[in-house]
Structure 1
């Protein structure tokens, strides 16, 4: 480590050992001085993990010899989120080097999080990761909406740039990968991914180079739609795997309360609650039919706020068809006629 940054690190570690040994679990370094890409203007990237979330007394930002530094807290809870890919600062864990630990257990806990992430990066694409990717895709769609009404060049650049970053996050998650070098080699790392949408490289540059709004809009839309198709195709591939009947045991029993809510509110002529309940139920039924490769069961299209009786009949037909699908797939439905039936079911569950 270059002399200036080494001196700063030693100063901080000495202060922690003297004043806050019982407050700090870890101090970690990451970034250029760990991965070997430092230059003369590089700072020292480091953070500390406090023993308790409320401790942040060591947070400090300063300039030394013209270089900006920032020492900040990273809670164990946030580290857990990162290890689950719910926070995209993955390299701050995987590429980090522990330079101080309060105990061997603290260091072991951190290394377990590193191992958890690396294990995920060697796994095949999963529905869980695609679900996380779709959250970023949805954020990109929000920014596309903002882009369409952008009043000036600054707003255009911000919206299109956020689209680029959110799509990048979605693609990293789809590939079970993360950026090792942050923004330093952003495009290069993305282009090394195995799974990318068509024209990704071209669209990436088309969000940066042009100043014409129409060009940026076209590239943004193409990037969003091609990424969405990619994710949907991957979901279809996964869904074509053999159906696990056990995944759907208890589903109808859970959804029964929503069906009953719709019927009750139809009879009560409460169209607002009826509509919201129907939306929830339609989404659940759609997911079931798609996963089991069955023809869709549609009923939300029959909703009319001034004809809830007619809508109730359509929902009843949908329930009958849903139960029929369960029968075709040999998915059992647990119906209890007495407390004794419930008790017996509990005993059977305890013995399995």
Structure 2
């Protein structure tokens, strides 16, 4: 059977019944890449132009070959082109079978231009951030693996480790500003030749895919994820802007002082619950902002907090969390007052201007002078 005869039938069907309702018909996969075998199906998709066009979707089998004529909205195609979904190759490498109009053709070609733009150096930071977000999705599967009590249930470990592996690999593709041109199982050559990849990537993959020992599979998943996170953080550091500590943290102290005052007030009122929530929040927030001011990028959600709390400690700021004591809030009150003073001094030493005024008149003069300066 010539699968393209099936394609001709579908296209003629579209022309006869959905000529104004379907914008694009295309195929992708093995036939588009010249790697088809006797069992390969023809991977179709179409972009509907109207709600009626959705009705053309159909799944069928001819001579034991399966076919799936499925819809992709323009919006989803745009997400693929922006690397927001992993199937970018569907848009980048497909072959067109039918185009409703010149406008539809132009819109589709712009999607391919978008893919090229995403791979330019100006978009590197954006894709590194997407890589980190994709890696975050791995941790729910790592959690399930680490909590599993039945190490003999290899099926469970295979399924969860498969999720870990595919998500980490997608994260690595984004980190390299690329996409996989072939499906998993056929793309190993592209994977092992990614410029930015864990040194033991192939070894981890082999353990995850071939091992019969649950503990080894879990360990490989954990190491693969940790090594990939290290690469993501290294790329973020390389992409950080030139040092500009004062600009990065401008206005922070003035806002944060309100939180510190809430802690002090809670201590005075012996309100441990309020003191607890605001004290922990304050130390975490100050540590994150100081890290950003020093590094030029925010600590990611996957970063162990000790990595950025160390900057807080190096600044000589008191650890509010360690002062929490429901039976005696006086130490926390003294600590938060000291923190407020030391933080302001630290920021001033770093060149940060603090908008502090003795009275309303002084604030009014500041506004007048600042406005005149900005307008001149």
Give the TM bin, normalised by the shorter chain. 0.7 to 0.9
Change (3 A) 1:316 1:109: farther
CA RMSD of aligned residues (A): 3.7
> How many angstroms does 1:94 deviate by?
1.2
Q: Deviations over 1:196-228 (max 9, x none)?
A: 112111111011111011221222222122222
Change (3 A) 1:266 1:22: farther
Change (3 A) 1:54 1:204: farther
Partner of residue 182, structure 1: 183
Partner of residue 41, structure 1: 39
TM-score, normalization by structure 2: 0.77
Maintained 8 Å contact 1:53/1:75: no
Partner of residue 160, structure 1: 161
1:197, 1:275 → 2: CA distance? Answer: 40
The reply on whether 1:107 has 2:127 as its aligned counterpart is: no
Change (3 A) 1:190 1:309: farther
Pairs within 5 Å for 1:102-181: 102-123=100-121, 126-148=124-146, 149=148, 151=150, 152-181=153-182
TM-score, normalization by structure 1: 0.81
2:323, 2:56 → 1: CA distance? Answer: 58
Partner of residue 95, structure 2: 97
The reply on whether 1:287 has 2:285 as its aligned counterpart is: no
Maintained 8 Å contact 1:98/1:107: no
Question: Which structure is larger by alpha-carbon Rg, 1 or 2?
Answer: 2
Give unmatched runs, 5+ long, in structure 2.
296-310
Maintained 8 Å contact 1:82/1:88: yes
Change (3 A) 1:184 1:293: same
| 1:7 aligned counterpart, secondary structure | helix
Pairs within 5 Å for 1:251-330: 282-293=283-294, 295-296=311-312, 299=319, 301-302=321-322, 304=324, 306=326, 311=332, 314-315=335-336, 317-330=338-351
Maintained 8 Å contact 1:258/1:281: yes
1:273, 1:83 → 2: CA distance? Answer: 47
1:231, 1:18 → 2: CA distance? Answer: 51
> How many angstroms does 1:64 deviate by?
1.2
How many pairs were matched up? 350
Change (3 A) 1:28 1:262: farther
Change (3 A) 1:269 1:173: farther
Change (3 A) 1:42 1:323: farther
Q: Deviations over 1:9-62 (max 9, x none)?
A: 222222222222332222222111211111221111121122357962122211
